[in-house]
Structure 1
Amino acid sequence: MSLYFALKIIHILSGAVLFGTGAGIAFFMLRAHATRDARTVAEVGRIVVLADFVFTASAVVVQPISGLGLIHLQGWSLTSPWLLAAYGLYVFVGVCWLPVVWIQYRMMKLAEQAAGQGAALPPAYHRLFRWWFALGWPAFAGVLAIYWLMVAKPEF
């Protein structure tokens, strides 16, 4: 197996993990939120926070490393317009994702407190949920745009 092939497989799989974990986390958080049950939100929140750290964070590290290797092996200029657009989108997605990680953790903690008291989810949880939801959409769109750039490699 060539280095190029190995890096390409790693890059594609880490991209799939990044996208798939993000979509899965969003689905499970939305489903838990829809129950309005603090205990359910807390339990799902613990799983989601763990998944984000184990899978998403790992893929976030692997993506640029494998991508830079592929760029080098294919002879692309680091300043090719499609790559500059991909870098910008990657940073944009990260700017959306980093607060989401903190927000998910806070939502989980608020749900745990409410569940421990037998109370409803507090207003602070619902405010955080709105931010979490609002930041998720542009991040999701950004990842889709990066996929398009990687496949199409437009010349602009």
Structure 2
Amino acid sequence: MLYLTLKIIHIMSGAVLFGTGAGIAFFMLRAHMSRDVATIAAVGKIVVLADFVFTASAVLVQPVSGLGLIYLQGYALTEPWLLAAYALYVLIGVCWLPVVWMQMKMARLAQTAADAGEALPAAYHRLFRGWFILGWPAFAGVIGIYWLMVAKPAF
């Protein structure tokens, strides 16, 4: 029963991690494409909140439930497919942490511009480009981890 509970928790938190990331990317991109400063500011606030409530929670649950599953299934922590998953998890984190900071900064810049009735500053656009670029390796990393968890390849 413990194994099934941990497995469900691990799968669900992985789905939350992937789904929230994809949803945040979609809504941020759509808001940005609208070119409406007030929309960008409002969506930016929601995205930051979603990242802290959902993504951060899943980021904490994933390693705990994953380690429990590894132990219960009798795998060594050094299985090659697990080492690859750890590396991808670190890559995702290295991308995600600056992205969260960028989202917070972009939301503040957009809100300031909206309050002043001004266009978005150049700093917002620079941050958006960085946010967009860092999203791709993080997204690919999550897909890679899913593949590793399902395939458990023998390298």
TM bucket, shorter chain = over 0.9
Deviations 1:14-69 (Å, cap 9, x if unpaired)?
Answer: 00000000000000000000011111000000100000000000000000000000
Aligned match of 1:84: 83
Distance of 2:45 and 2:57 partners within structure 1: 18
Q: Is the 8 A contact 1:42 1:108 kept in 2?
A: yes
Q: Which runs of 4+ in 1 moved over 3 A?
A: none
Distance of 2:74 and 2:120 partners within structure 1: 53
Aligned match of 2:42: 43
The yes-or-no answer on 1:5 pairing with 2:4 is yes
Distance of 2:42 and 2:15 partners within structure 1: 25
Deviations 1:83-106 (Å, cap 9, x if unpaired)?
Answer: 000000000000000000000000
Name the aligned partner's letter for residue 93 of structure 2: G
SS of equivalent residue, structure 1 residue 59: helix
Aligned match of 1:153: 152
Name the aligned partner's letter for residue 65 of structure 2: S
For structure 2, the 5+ residue unaligned runs are none
- TM-score between the two structures when normalised by the length of structure 2: 1.00
Name the aligned partner's letter for residue 119 of structure 2: A
Distance of 1:148 and 1:99 partners within structure 2: 25
Aligned length: 155
Q: Is the 8 A contact 1:82 1:149 kept in 2?
A: yes
For structure 1, the 5+ residue unaligned runs are none
SS of equivalent residue, structure 1 residue 63: helix
Percent identical residues: 77
Distance of 1:95 and 1:117 partners within structure 2: 34
Name the aligned partner's letter for residue 134 of structure 1: I
